[in-house]
Structure formats: C-alpha cells, structure tokens
C-alpha cells in the first residue's frame, strides 16, 4: 500500500474530498490518501491553526511514501487567509524554514503547489479584504494600467486614467494589498528555492482566476525572472486532484497508462482564451496533462485515453446564459459522432465540457443522453473555470484507466451530473432569482436560512435525477445537501 499525505488548499469539497474520492478503495488501487480532519483546516476566511496543523503533519508524514502539499494551507492557513493575512516576513520565513527541515528529514518525493494571488475584477469582499466590496474593480483596473505602462503599451489616456485611479483609491488600501502581494511573492521565491535544491520534487504555481494583464501577470513575470523553467498556468481548485494523480502514477513501476489523444469539438476552439484565464485552451491542456503525469500522442490508435474537449463558447458566456445556433448544433453533432465512434471501438473516453464558465452545457448533455453516451465515459466535468474542469477530469480519467472500478466511476459521474450540470447550470440561478430577495438573503450569505435553501435544492435536484430525460444514471435515493461556505456558489453533496 502506497500512503500519500495530502494537505488541501482549503476545506471545501472540491479541495478536500474530491481529490481523495477520485481514487477507488485502497484494496483496488493500492493507494491510501492521508489527509487532516476537517476541523484542522480552518473555515473560509478563518485560518487553520498553524501549530495544530503543523503538529498533525509532523506526526503523519513520517508514515507516508509521498506527499502532496498546498503551500497556502501550510504557510497561511488556507486559500482565503493567504489573501487577507497580516503575517510579517519573519513569521513567514520561519514557517518555510520549518518546512524545509521537515522535508529534509523525511526525504520522500514531495509534490507542491503555491498559487499566485488573484486580483478579481469585481466589487465583492466575500473572498477578499473588506475594502474589495467598494474598491475591488478599481484596484483591478489600476493594476491592469500599471501592467500596460510597464510593458510600454499604455497611451496618454491610460496614463491619465492611472493617475486618476491612484488619487481616487484610498492609499492605505493600495499599500495593504501591494504589501501582502510582495510578502506572498517572497514566500513563492523561497518555495522555488526548495524546488531547485531538490527538497521539493515537483512544483507548480497555478494562477488563480488570472487575466492577461494586471497584478497576477506582473507576479508571473517576476517569478520567471527568478526561475525560467517553473511551471505556471491558470488554475487552483483542481491542483490537489492533479498532483495526487501524478504522485500515484509515479508510484507505479511498470505498465502506467498515460498516453492521451485530444479530441476537440472544433479546431479553432483550442486557440481561444477562456474566462478567468490568461492563456489558450491548448496551452492550458498541455500544462494540465503534464501535471497529471500524462503525455500527449497524436494518433488515437496509440492512446490509452481519448480526451474530448468541448471548447469555449464564442461569446464567453456563463452557464446560466446558454443556447445554440444552427452552426453550433452541427459542430456538436459532428463532435458527438466522433466521440461515439471511439467508444464503439472500445477506446476509453473522458469529456471536459468547458464551453461555458461555471457549469455544463445542457444541450450537449441532452444529446449525449439521447445516444446513451454519458454513462460510458471514464470521467466528465464542467465546473467553475476551464482549468478546474480540465485538470479534475484528466486526473479522474487517468486514475480510472489505471485502477478501474465501476462503483467509483459511476459515483464520480453522478456527482458531476448533479453538481456541474443540474446545480451549477440551472438550479443555482433559479434559487438566486426566485428565493433570495423574498427571504432577504444574498448570494454570498444565506445566514440562518441555509437549511431551508438546502431543502429546496435537494427537491429540485431529485426531481431532475428522477426525470424522464435522465436515462443513463437514474437515481432516486435521498441526497444530502449543504453549503460549505454558507453561500450559493458551491454545495456539498452526500447520500449517494
């Protein structure tokens, strides 16, 4: 049995549960994932206790053969605490030094991920410092203009706008935000040093909700000045899944199935840049495949897995705002014709639906159900960002073809059908439009009504699961629905 210690990015299911549950039971896979109890992981903006979590890591890592580590959780106490902390440089460097000494002592392969802090372009303090509620979009815009100026792309109007924004935004907010980014960047530099010295075996630096210009891009350029060969790409919540997959595949001495042939819905789609990301679908896929431990092959006959990708919507729409033109209908038909032929030929096929942001394509699923294709997939996903979907589907599919298990495969398909398609694409927006104003709630705070909303969500999900259109994974047992951060954005699903 290979034991892998896993420290997640935060306590939400996408980071804590899904990466672990993508594996079949240990008696099938020979893999055991050791991860902290949820009470050690903090909650949303409340950081995990460094001392308690560190003691747990020190006690458990010595029994493991490999480790997958979130630097945000280990150093700052979680994803959101990394964006709002008031830790000083001395404390941060001491924590890195303690990590260095521990990893030198245990001397096992270590796979780590350390995010570049995001800069949202909207006004909301749900995941950011309090001042983001009023100044977030302006701080983002200012960072974009700074990037343009430093890159020689700014015109006189840009310079005037930059001066105006700098005068308008309270100086203490800019100072607070830029100071924290600088501290976090110094932590990343030290983590890169651990990687270059061999203490960390494999390191990735995902760019959380990134864009082509702004603070995130400036940090990316500064990191590249320090180390040209470091791997950076858009992503965050899929990183635990991909690195656990890579760690598990690396533990196999022989017969690793990892050759992947890509199937796009259309050739132009691979060059598109999705929402919340600063690079093309094709480049993102290359990074995600490498991170999972896979390799791309050009011919399907040589592949262990056909990885089908429905690429980005021409209008870059969100999942709640979807529809097909006649041309798009034909593209989908040809895409599914090709996918169906591969399945009939006995090829393993997984589907990443990244057409819309934050949810799956309802019409694509309807057509798949008509052909009874969905239940044959090795993996499916359509959640949050393009990188989130691609990475998590890749890792699940590679695990499935190396450690096949029907129960795990079907459970994972059901989970993403329920969450990515039914909840994210349909029910979430319906709840938002129908109930929040009536109950005096907000999208980001369900207050004391979360159980009431959960019952509504449960009823609507079960109606869809038992509906006539859901042929392949008919399902009727009671679901358990909760809201990990007491907001509508994500749910935790149990009971199946």
- Which residues does 313 contact at the CB level (< 8 Å), separation at least 6? 322, 355, 356
Classify burial at 311, counting beta carbons within 10 Å of its beta carbon; exposed 0-12, middle 13-18, buried 19 or more. Answer: buried
Q: What is the mean pLDDT of each run of 10 residues along the chain (496 residues)?
A: 97 98 96 97 98 98 98 98 98 98 97 95 95 97 95 92 97 97 97 97 89 87 89 93 97 88 95 90 95 95 97 92 90 96 97 97 94 96 96 98 96 95 96 94 96 96 79 70 97 90
Q: In this predicted structure, what is the pLDDT of residue 138?
A: 97
Classify burial at 144, counting beta carbons within 10 Å of its beta carbon; exposed 0-12, middle 13-18, buried 19 or more. Answer: buried
Q: In this predicted structure, what is the pLDDT of residue 468?
A: 59
pTM over 0.85: yes
Angle, nearest 10°, between helix axes 132-150 and 156-168? 150
Q: In this predicted structure, what is the pLDDT of residue 473?
A: 66
Q: In this predicted structure, what is the pLDDT of residue 253?
A: 74
Q: In this predicted structure, what is the pLDDT of residue 139?
A: 97
* Domains of the chain with CATH codes: 2-119+174-250 (3.40.50), 259-403 (3.40.50), 430-496 (no CATH)
């Amino acid at each position: 049995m290979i034991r892998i210690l896993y420290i997640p990015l935060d306590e939400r299911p996408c980071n804590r549960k899904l990466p672990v549950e993508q594996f079949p039971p240990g008696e099938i896979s020979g893999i055991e994932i050791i991860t902290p109890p949820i009470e050690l992981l903090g909650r949303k903006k409340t950081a995990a206790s460094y001392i308690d979590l560190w003691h747990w890591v020190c006690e458990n890592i010595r029994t493991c053969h490999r480790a997958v580590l979130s630097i945000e959780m280990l150093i700052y106490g979680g994803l959101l605490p990394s964006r709002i902390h008031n830790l000083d440089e001395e404390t941060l460097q001491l924590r890195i030094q303690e990590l260095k000494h521990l990893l030198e002592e245990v001397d096992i392969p270590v796979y780590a991920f350390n995010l570049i802090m995001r800069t949202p372009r909207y006004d909301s303090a749900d995941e950011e410092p309090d001042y983001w509620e009023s100044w977030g979009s302006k701080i983002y815009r200012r960072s974009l203009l700074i990037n343009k100026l430093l890159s020689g792309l700014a015109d006189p109007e840009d310079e005037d706008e930059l001066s105006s924004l700098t005068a308008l935004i309270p100086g203490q907010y800019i100072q607070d935000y830029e100071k924290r980014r600088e501290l976090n960047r110094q932590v990343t530099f030290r983590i890169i040093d651990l990687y270059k010295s061999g203490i960390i075996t494999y390191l990735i630096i995902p760019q959380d909700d990134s864009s082509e210009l702004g603070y995130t891009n400036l940090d990316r350029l500064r990191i590249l000045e320090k180390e040209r060969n470091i791997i950076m790409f858009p992503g965050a919540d899929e990183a635990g899944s991909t690195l656990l997959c890579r760690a598990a595949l690396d533990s196999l001495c022989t017969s690793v199935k990892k050759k992947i042939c890509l199937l796009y819905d259309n050739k132009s789609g691979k060059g598109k840049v999705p929402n919340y990301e600063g690079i093309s679908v094709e480049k993102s896929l290359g990074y995600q495949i490498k991170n999972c431990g896979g390799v791309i092959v050009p011919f399907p006959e040589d592949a262990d897995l056909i990885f089908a990708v429905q690429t980005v919507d021409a209008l870059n729409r969100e999942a709640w705002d979807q529809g097909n033109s006649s041309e798009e209908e034909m593209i989908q038909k040809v895409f599914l014709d090709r996918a169906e032929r591969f399945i009939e030929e006995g090829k393993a096929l997984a589907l990443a639906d990244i057409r819309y942001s934050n949810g799956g394509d309802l019409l694509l699923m309807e057509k798949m159900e008509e052909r009874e294709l969905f239940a044959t997939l090795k993996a499916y996903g359509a959640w949050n960002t393009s990188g989130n979907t691609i990475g998590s589907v890749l890792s699940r599919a590679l695990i499935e073809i190396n450690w096949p298990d029907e129960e795990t495969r079907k459970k994972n398909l059901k989970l993403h059908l329920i969450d990515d398609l039914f909840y994210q694409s349909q029910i979430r927006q319906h709840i938002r439009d129908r109930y929040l104003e009536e109950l005096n709630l907000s999208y980001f705070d369900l207050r004391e009504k979360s159980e009431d909303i959960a019952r509504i969500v449960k009823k609507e999900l079960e109606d869809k699961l038992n509906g006539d259109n859901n042929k392949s994974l008919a399902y009727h047992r009671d679901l358990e629905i909760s809201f990990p951060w007491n907001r509508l954005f994500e749910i935790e699903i149990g009971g199946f």
